[in-house]
Structure 1
Amino acid sequence: MNYYEQRQGLKVRSLMLIIMVVWAFLFHNILHAFSIMSYVMAAAGICCLGIVTKTDSTFSINNMTCAWIPAIIAMFSSYFLHSTKKVSAEMDILILFIAMVFCIFSFYDKLEYMLCMKVIVFISAIHSFGVIIQQFLPSLYQVLVKFLPDTMQSIVLQSKYNGFTTNPGFAAAFICAGLIALITILVNDRKITFWNRCLLILMIAALLFTNKRAHPVFLGIALLLCWLLPVHNDSRINKYWKIFLTIVGIIVFFFAFKDFLVRIPFVSSVVQTIDGLMLGTDVTSSRSDLSSWAWSLFKDNPVFGIGWGDYRSTIIGTITHATELDTHNIYLQLLCETGIVGFVCFVVPFVLFWTKAKNAYCRCAVAEDELSKTWKPPLCFSFVFQTLFLIYGLTGNPLYDPNWMILYMFACGITLSFVTIERQSSEEDQKKEIL
């Protein structure tokens, strides 16, 4: 293959990767404009093109590429053997399968991942802008909403904190992804411009105005882990002191400007939660009932569960009157729907990829070689996003939300690509030493 053919292949592969990332952000928008199956088929075609345009020399079988195979088998087995076969479950499985396959064949260059991270920042900035103008420029917001699909407009206008999405949780997830990508890029960039700082402030403000508690808190925890893990001993102790002083400063700042800060939806929600905990009231928005019901179903079907996607229908008449909901805890829902067998099949790759991402990022954060320096930004994104996904899974439904799942598999693909390239580089160095 000559240089021109290599460059053409690179452009096509980059385009496929970008389309997969954009797909995560536009899932619900497109879903309101087209039929489910046409959308899924288009996504499957994109996935296949991405695999075909992959260079054969980079693909190799290892424990990471095989890690998702048991999860795929468990998912399909649970659906076909136990599930009542709901349309929503079919869509979940197809999209999850496509994302997993794309991850398995994700062997891209660092520059391609960096380009996708910039795309994530761009789209997240648009959603951040939507949340802010919804709060402060409602007349302009009303005009811009008209550009969304007709079937989507009425749903979007029902909430005060969702921006250009149908749910504040979607907006918060998009902004979190953009913040991770932006912070990762800025930390590793020698020159941080005035506009970059403005964009960072805009996105942080927008996240606080989505009225979601879990997203900002868990994002903060994920970023703290990213900051703390690469250092050891005295340096880590110094960072602990900085965290402690920062927390004290935030508390003092809050009490000094409490009357103003409680106008921010996130702050108001946190204050209400703390007050509720002190009074002994339920602050989980009835999610404790969902979790208790999932646990009882798991105890009745501990080995193989009740079937993928069936939890939603079981709560009608027991927890809700007519609304289908997920557990808001992916681990409990996996136990409930797929049993211990399916739970293990999913948790093993979760832990494996997170551990690989952590180890790879920590190595690159302190190493001085060229490979480590260039891969540090995408690996930082991979580690932080995987951490956020796994923590948020305790109170949310990221495994059952295509927006989250596609971006999670994108993050896993970064780790897989680096581990493969690092191993190939090591093998080449060994061959050179022998020669």
Structure 2
Amino acid sequence: MVRLNRKQEKKYTVSIICLICMLLTVNMKWLFEGILDKSIIEATILLFLLCILLFFNRFKIKKIGLIWILYIINIIFSLIIHPSSFGIWGRGAITVFTVAFIFFVDEPIYRYKTVLKLFIFFGIVNSALVFCHYFFESFFDNTYYSLLNETARGSYSLYSKYGYFFGLLYNPHEPAFMICISIAGIVLWDVMNKTRILCYTPVLVLFVSLLMTGKRGIFVIGALSLIIMILVLYGSRKQWLQSLLLILFVVIGLAVFIQFVLTYTEIEFFTRFRTLILGLFSGDGVDSGRFQIYDMAFNEWKSNPILGIGWRHFNALTVEKYHMKQYHEVNCDYLQWLCETGIVGFLCNIITIGVMQFRAMFVCRNLIKRIDNTVEKWTLLLTGYIQIFVLVYAFIEIPFEDIIIFAIYIISCIVQNSLYRRRSQFNEERG
């Protein structure tokens, strides 16, 4: 481990504290945006943290993160050329400030463990809140609901109607995503340290709360991403076979659970699960009708194929132009980029995340066998998991537009950049 002087230690400590504060800020979305309806508070806090990082970095930026300038320019340019509301400008500021952290943080890998442990902690907290929502539903439906603003209430009512549980975050995909990260973090640590018995109970509890959020797409993507990262860790033919057996075991276990819930209808505890399962099988859910929305987005793109209709402008059109009862996003980040920012913006974003995915794949493939430290190896795997998860999830949802998921993704990019920049160091240590 490389020795650091006092000045370096201080700078690295400040960077980690700022990342933690950034993560805490975006996870208070339910308060700042849902109750207070003041997203400007988020933007102000993020800007303040960036100023601190800028000062401690002596107004220098990390070259490893410069590719993200494309992403930022795309947002700002779209906001300038298309008349946008104050709210959209606010969302743009929050997104840009979140991305900007990647320009100022680049640390030795072992120092990120505190931030990644916070990922696990947030997943556990959200799991507990999902259970609280289940057992104290009347409190959430009356007291908490009354505190929310009109937009948050609309989201809350929409998902509650289908029997989803989500705690304080009124969009269930956010707690579901963080619960998935907790499960992945615990399982990956268990696989490396061979402490399987210790992880069974917390993973089972987290898994149940994940099912209660109703986000079946997140469950499937999370499971596949986890299997991929385990295979990255080992990669032998034996491990591939074991992974296939694990998938088979999970499928059979899920089938048995569903059959049990549908058979023993007298058990009141499973009433909500039964309603959810029947709804999923019948196709009745929040996500129904997404192909109609895809068609709208494609038509809007054709009206302005080069520069798009404007960043975050599609949502309003679903009601104002297409007369839908509720506001909708495209539910596919890649199509939303194309629709709202045109070919130019789409290419800017694809190039950015493509470079990041290349680095993540390079790091996972070439460094996993060269890193001896368990914590550093776990850090590599968990951030790689997040990268795969978000990129796949973007085909069916808009994680890049959700500030909580996006902030976690940006932190994973920061870690992967640090690993990529130090790849020669691991080569030397191995040699």
| Percentage of identical aligned residues | 19
* AA in 2 matched with 1:209: M
Q: In structure 2, what is the equivalent of residue 39 of structure 1?
A: 42
Alpha carbons of structure 1 residues 223 and 66: separation in structure 2 relative to 1, 3 Å: same
TM norm structure 1: 0.83
Alpha carbons of structure 1 residues 348 and 265: separation in structure 2 relative to 1, 3 Å: farther
Runs of 4+ aligned residues of structure 1 deviating over 6 Å after TM superposition are 143-146
1:45 offset after TM fit, Å?
1.0
Structure 1 portions without partners, runs of 5+: none
| Contact 2:261/2:273 (8 A) holds in 1 | no
Tell me the distance in 2 between the aligned counterparts of 1:68 and 1:266: 42
SS at match of 2:368: helix
Alpha carbons of structure 1 residues 180 and 56: separation in structure 2 relative to 1, 3 Å: farther
| Contact 1:29/1:152 (8 A) holds in 2 | no
Q: In structure 1, what is the equivalent of residue 363 of structure 2?
A: 360
| Contact 2:113/2:375 (8 A) holds in 1 | no
Q: In structure 1, what is the equivalent of residue 78 of structure 2?
A: 78
| Contact 1:21/1:406 (8 A) holds in 2 | yes
Tell me the alpha carbon deviations over residues 86-143 of structure 1, each in whole angstroms, 9 at most, x when there is no partner.
233212211221121112322023233211111222222121111112223557x669
Tell me the distance in 2 between the aligned counterparts of 1:133 and 1:333: 34
Tell me the distance in 2 between the aligned counterparts of 1:40 and 1:170: 19
Tell me the alpha carbon deviations over residues 315-340 of structure 1, each in whole angstroms, 9 at most, x when there is no partner.
22443446432111111110001111
Q: In structure 1, what is the equivalent of residue 175 of structure 2?
A: 171
Tell me the distance in 2 between the aligned counterparts of 1:10 and 1:66: 20
SS at match of 1:257: helix
1:299 offset after TM fit, Å?
1.4
Tell me the distance in 2 between the aligned counterparts of 1:239 and 1:327: 38
1:158-197 aligned at under 5 Å gives the runs 158=157, 159=160, 161-189=165-193, 191=195, 194=198, 196-197=199-200
1:213-228 aligned at under 5 Å gives the runs 213-228=216-231
Q: In structure 2, what is the equivalent of residue 127 of structure 1?
A: 126
1:30-109 aligned at under 5 Å gives the runs 30-31=32-33, 32-33=35-36, 35-54=38-57, 60-62=62-64, 65-81=65-81, 83-109=82-108
SS at match of 2:167: coil
1:170-319 aligned at under 5 Å gives the runs 170-189=174-193, 191=195, 194=198, 196-232=199-235, 234-235=237-238, 237-239=240-242, 241-243=244-246, 245-246=248-249, 249-250=252-253, 253-254=256-257, 257-259=260-262, 263=270, 269=276, 272-276=279-283, 284-319=287-322
* AA in 1 matched with 2:46: A
Alpha carbons of structure 1 residues 264 and 77: separation in structure 2 relative to 1, 3 Å: farther
Tell me the alpha carbon deviations over residues 26-46 of structure 1, each in whole angstroms, 9 at most, x when there is no partner.
123233337332331221111
SS at match of 1:315: helix
* AA in 2 matched with 1:204: F
Q: In structure 1, what is the equivalent of residue 418 of structure 2?
A: 417
1:360 offset after TM fit, Å?
1.0
| Contact 2:359/2:416 (8 A) holds in 1 | yes
Q: Which sits farther off after the overlay, 130-139 or 44-53?
A: 130-139
Structure 2 portions without partners, runs of 5+: none
Q: In structure 1, what is the equivalent of residue 380 of structure 2?
A: 379
Alpha carbons of structure 1 residues 149 and 388: separation in structure 2 relative to 1, 3 Å: farther
Q: In structure 2, what is the equivalent of residue 403 of structure 1?
A: 404
* AA in 2 matched with 1:30: F
| Contact 1:386/1:411 (8 A) holds in 2 | yes
Alpha carbons of structure 1 residues 217 and 188: separation in structure 2 relative to 1, 3 Å: same
* AA in 1 matched with 2:381: C
Alpha carbons of structure 1 residues 161 and 407: separation in structure 2 relative to 1, 3 Å: same
Q: In structure 2, what is the equivalent of residue 118 of structure 1?
A: 117
Tell me the distance in 1 between the aligned counterparts of 2:185 and 2:408: 12
SS at match of 1:85: coil
SS at match of 1:316: helix
Tell me the distance in 2 between the aligned counterparts of 1:74 and 1:4: 39
Q: In structure 1, what is the equivalent of residue 390 of structure 2?
A: 389
1:228 offset after TM fit, Å?
2.7
* AA in 2 matched with 1:351: G
Q: In structure 2, what is the equivalent of residue 328 of structure 1?
A: 331
Tell me the distance in 2 between the aligned counterparts of 1:233 and 1:175: 29
1:85 offset after TM fit, Å?
0.7
SS at match of 2:302: helix
TM norm structure 2: 0.84
| Contact 1:24/1:407 (8 A) holds in 2 | no
| Contact 2:308/2:341 (8 A) holds in 1 | yes
1:429 offset after TM fit, Å?
7.8
Correspondence for 2:31 among 29, 32, 35: 29
| Contact 1:131/1:209 (8 A) holds in 2 | yes
* AA in 1 matched with 2:108: D
1:157 offset after TM fit, Å?
7.5
* Alignment: residue pair count: 417
| Contact 2:46/2:98 (8 A) holds in 1 | no
Correspondence for 2:16 among 14, 17, 20: 14
| Contact 1:273/1:283 (8 A) holds in 2 | no
Tell me the alpha carbon deviations over residues 36-73 of structure 1, each in whole angstroms, 9 at most, x when there is no partner.
3233122111123234335999x6524xx222112211
| Contact 1:76/1:93 (8 A) holds in 2 | yes
| Contact 2:30/2:168 (8 A) holds in 1 | no
Alpha carbons of structure 1 residues 357 and 184: separation in structure 2 relative to 1, 3 Å: same
Alpha carbons of structure 1 residues 383 and 144: separation in structure 2 relative to 1, 3 Å: farther
* AA in 2 matched with 1:216: F
Tell me the distance in 2 between the aligned counterparts of 1:265 and 1:386: 32
Alpha carbons of structure 1 residues 113 and 67: separation in structure 2 relative to 1, 3 Å: same
CA RMSD of aligned residues (A): 3.5
* AA in 2 matched with 1:131: V
